[in-house]
Amino acid sequence: MGADNVDYDKELDTIEKSFQTDISLAIEQIDTVLTYESLLTLQQQSRLYGLIGAKFLYLGDFVEADKMLDKALLFNPNGVVLTDIYLLKITVNIALLNYQQAFSLLEENFSRIENYQDNSIKIKSYNRLTNVYLQLGAYDEMLRISQLALNLNQGTDPRNQCFSMLLISVAHLKLQHFDQAETLFTDTQSYCKDHDFPLIEIMSIKGQANVLFDKGLYAEAEPLYLVALERYQKFQFEVEINEIQSYLSSIYFHLGDYQQADMFAQLINALPNKPSNMQVKKRVSEILSLIAGKRGQFDKAYQYQVVASALGQQLLDEQKVKENAYQMARFNSVEKNRENTSLIQDHELLMKQKDLFMKEKSSSIMFSTLLVGLSVGLLLLLISAWMQRNQFMKQAQRDGLTGIFNRRTGQEMAENEFIQAQMLGESFSVLLMDLDLFKNINDQYGHATGDWVLKKVTHVIGEMLKPTHIFTRMGGEEFAIFMPKQTEDIAVDFAEQIRDVIANINTRFSGHDFTVTVSCGVSSVDKDDLSLDPLIRRADLALYKAKHNGRNCVVCYNDTIK
């Protein structure tokens, strides 16, 4: 049959179904459809590139996935195709740690779904949306939306029914409703097996094992994990395979089989350092530490525990960023709704004003003035609340005197950038600065002059910064610039520029004539660094060396500095 006679929508349906049963087959089918892409309608092309984006998402290439999804949007899709693309973009943004963007897309997409009249589109969209909530850790929302999808479907579409049942089971597990989750996973396994959805059936088996694991019933969980592992391997579903192997490592340790525990742990330990592997690598690092301790290898045990702690901190930081982004998106959504409600109320008031004006011209003048005054008052109140909210957020993040990031905010932002740099194998440098003999300026000219110096220094440095730099007041007269993607040589050169600019500050505008100088310490990321702390410590040692060398100079850390 020639390409002209192909039912392209059916072909795309087939690809979408293949993603649930055989990913390799889905990729082959995509390549086939690409050969006659020019024969597709704009909507079909959009759907095709959405599926290509999904392909790269499965393969873990999130940057390429985002590019393909952006290309899919160029064809102006609508309805469920547009919703699918947006949901995939949300998943990609989460994988790329762009949480604020992910939540913004989530809120926008949810508003659009609510306006759909077609229940089948709503159900499919809700199920996809529930997956996003799962990745974000919003389990209450996950349960609410998946239950809504199940109620809308009422068994009419077995595929959607299967998805909704699984997602409700997972939500109950995450909320630690163990007995309920175990029953639901068992029911889901049976339903999906009867309706020929093998991948979701396997997920249900793994879900039952997870319940038993969380309850500490390791011997009962083991055979279920082994069944799920064998069946996942046929699908080449790497993410699920890795997770099960990490659980088996923990199970065999608790059962006293250290050889098996070590074997599964080493499989995970050999995986590349990327965000999707952090949780499983943390789990097995803890097990490897315990195994080493049992074998009397205490140095190894300590090393593995350090790695586990670092990964745990990264996961906590990532969760904190997720929660902050989620709360901010929810806050912004509430603000928008409140503003919209206020505008509607204002409009209704103005319409009433007009009606009264037509009925009773003379008396309506005073009444309309009152209404306008009320509207203006409400508007001013909204503006004031919005400005106050922004002011509070800024005050919480900024140093009160200089306006740059305070230590807590600066280090948190830098730590998140550092984690991304480590995952991508990129450079990262830290520049610490301390104003020389600053106490003498305060003592000789007064604290007002000292404050003028601090503000002037931050102003001149601020004009030199790149958008990626994180400028932070560490305390007193000490400052830091965290420099993602910047090598040691670039950081040292930048420090020299700063030193020169500060030395040339004209202090006569302060009312006095004196010279300001700065000492700088620089360090860059090392392959053994697991967090930002070692870089800051090395930069601090280099700064101390600069002070010891006579001040007004830049020192880069090396192994001779102790």
| Enzyme catalytic residues | 477
What is the rounded distance in angstroms from the CA atom of residue 210 to the CA atom of residue 225?
8
What is the rounded distance in angstroms from the CA atom of residue 107 to the CA atom of residue 192?
31
- DSSP SS3 for 217: coil
Edge to edge, the sheet with strand 470-475 lists 405-406, 470-475, 478-484, 428-435, 518-524, 554-556
Q: Which amino acid is at 509?
A: F
CA distances from 240 to 186, 247, 280, 446 (A): 19, 11, 10, 64
Which tokens belong to 187?
Answer: 């029911």
Per DSSP (E only), the strands in 319-465 are 405-406, 428-435
Burial of 188-203, coded b for 16+ CB within 10 Å and e otherwise, reads: bbebbbeeebebbbbb
What is the rounded distance in angstroms from the CA atom of residue 497 to the CA atom of residue 502?
9
User: What one-character DSSP code corresponds to residue 39?
Assistant: G
Rounded to a whole number of angstroms, the distance between the first and last alpha carbons of the chain is 76
Matching residue, tokens 């995952």: 423
Strand partners, 432: 480, 521
Sign of CA dihedral 41, 42, 47, 49: positive
Which tokens belong to 330?
Answer: 């929810």
Check: CB of residue 501 under 8 Å from CB of residue 464. yes
Other C-beta atoms closer than 10 Å to the C-beta of 485 total 15
What is the rounded distance in angstroms from the CA atom of residue 10 to the CA atom of residue 40?
12
Burial of 137-168, coded b for 16+ CB within 10 Å and e otherwise, reads: ebbebbbebbbbbbebbeeebebbbbbbbbbb
Radius of gyration of the chain (CA): 30
Q: What angle do CA 354, 357, 360 make, to 5 degrees?
A: 150
Matching residue, tokens 């305060």: 442
